[in-house]
Amino acid sequence: MALASARVHEVPDDLLAAIDYCYEQGWTDGLPVIPPAVERVHAMLAHEGRAPETVIATHPATGLELSVHAAAVNAVMAGCLPQYFPVLVAAFEAMNHADFNFHGSTASTGGSAPLLIVSGAYAEEIGMNADVNLFGPGNRANATIGRAVRLILRNVFQMIPGISDKSTQGNPGKYSFCVAERARGNPWPLLCEAQGYPRGVSSVTVFAGGGFCNVENHGGNTPEQVLGSVADAMANYGCISLGQSVVMLSPEHMRIVAGAGWRREDAQAFLFSNAKRSVDGMKRVGKHRDSEYEKQHDGGAHVLVEAGQFHRGLTPDDILITMGGGDAGGHSCFIPSWSRGRGSIMQHKPIGVCIDPN
């Protein structure tokens, strides 16, 4: 059942004209949307057990609220099937956490986009792609769930480019930035398991992603060689900060790393130790800040922090690393966080269930 007070637009029964109408209203991301016909929204709402007026997220600055109903309307417009809806709802519940700071990460000149990583059986159940062309187009679930996030940020929270979205350059992920973690052949515990959810519960992780960096290495045959190239990407002067990181290892690279017996924690520790720049180097490019260095090196500094070096992040746990992509190709990726520091911290939520913390 939809929101009784929801506003309805009466338009002629002409689909192409309805698509144009959506453009004229300013409801799109620049691409045509599916007109949010009431019947389709009702079908979307049937996949959420809570009342349509239930508030999922609230904008901290304006107080604008995202209801289940409004999320369903935008999900239809993005092209989502109803079974995708629980992922979208869980994603916004995660983004609503104050530490994710969806306002700041969207409004900032930094131009980040919320990256969604879906982990667990639900990803396969709804036909998500965790394989070849992982971050590319072609899969309806990946494409439309990510797109719905942007439409909600725009239409519900009015985060409109040039007005309340001040991205200097933005990034392509702002169209859609949603993938599934690859379970097939993954030697490490899946994220949903590592995050502590009960067996059988899938999760979505949200991360304010500042861009996408392909890390190519076809010659490295040891974990140190493969991860060394990843660490170098993480430490590039354009990205290095106290912020978090997402690293998606290709299956080829994972075979090298995990095949040598390295666990996720070993890879995180190596990356944290090696994704660093000297203080002199940071000063040379004008990026050294005493306050940031002190934050990393104060009394609570991680044991791997080296004097005279500025590491990416505060601890190895700031690096989310897992596997995704096709079987062939020594191409992994690094996705930096938005913000120079701790402005946004990744969050996760279970999909379609409520977990009693007790």
Partner 1 sequence: MRLYDPTTSRRQRRLSRAPALAGLQGKSIGILENGKLNAEAMLREIGLLFQERHGCTIRAVYSKSNASAPAPAETLARAAREVDFLITGLGD
Question: Rule CB under 8 A: which residues touch partner 1?
Answer: 2, 6-15, 18, 21-22, 27, 35-38, 41, 55, 58, 60-67, 69-70, 73-74, 77, 98, 101, 103-105, 107-109, 151, 155-156, 158, 289, 291, 339, 342-343
- The residue among 68 and 275 lying less far from partner 1, judged by its C-beta, is 68
Least separation in angstroms between CB 285 and partner 1? 14
Least separation in angstroms between CB 337 and partner 1? 13
HSE (CB half, 13 Å, CA atoms) of 338? Answer: 32
The torsion angles phi and psi of 297, rounded to 5 degrees, stand at -110, 10
- The residue among 160 and 328 lying less far from partner 1, judged by its C-beta, is 160
Phi and psi based region of residue 324 (left: phi greater than 0; alpha: psi -120 to 50; beta: remaining): beta
- The residue among 5 and 358 lying less far from partner 1, judged by its C-beta, is 5
Tokens of 144: 């439309």
CA–CA separation, 287 vs 237, rounded Å? 8
CA–CA separation, 174 vs 338, rounded Å? 13
Least separation in angstroms between CB 188 and partner 1? 32
Least separation in angstroms between CB 196 and partner 1? 26
HSE (CB half, 13 Å, CA atoms) of 234? Answer: 34
Look at residues 162, 57, 169, 72 and name the one whose alpha carbon lies nearest to residue 103.
57
Look at residues 316, 188, 185, 332 and name the one whose alpha carbon lies nearest to residue 261.
188
Q: Which residues pair with 322 in a beta bridge?
A: 248
CA–CA separation, 111 vs 81, rounded Å? 28
Look at residues 145, 139, 175, 165 and name the one whose alpha carbon lies nearest to residue 326.
139
- The residue among 108 and 202 lying less far from partner 1, judged by its C-beta, is 108
Least separation in angstroms between CB 288 and partner 1? 11
Tokens of 321: 């690393």
What is the SS3 assignment for 119?
A: strand
- The DSSP string of 85-111 is HHHHHHHHHHHTSTTT-HHHHHHSTT-
- The residue among 53 and 193 lying less far from partner 1, judged by its C-beta, is 53
- As to burial, measured by CB atoms within 10 angstroms (0-12 exposed, 13-18 middle, 19+ buried), residue 288 is middle
CA–CA separation, 101 vs 60, rounded Å? 9
- The residue among 58 and 222 lying less far from partner 1, judged by its C-beta, is 58
Look at residues 100, 43, 99, 49 and name the one whose alpha carbon lies nearest to residue 73.
43
Least separation in angstroms between CB 12 and partner 1? 7
- The residue among 63 and 357 lying less far from partner 1, judged by its C-beta, is 63
Least separation in angstroms between CB 148 and partner 1? 10
CA distances from 58 to 54, 65, 101 (A): 11, 4, 11
Least separation in angstroms between CB 316 and partner 1? 23
- The residue among 14 and 125 lying less far from partner 1, judged by its C-beta, is 14
Least separation in angstroms between CB 222 and partner 1? 39
- The residue among 103 and 312 lying less far from partner 1, judged by its C-beta, is 103
Least separation in angstroms between CB 37 and partner 1? 6
- The residue among 151 and 215 lying less far from partner 1, judged by its C-beta, is 151
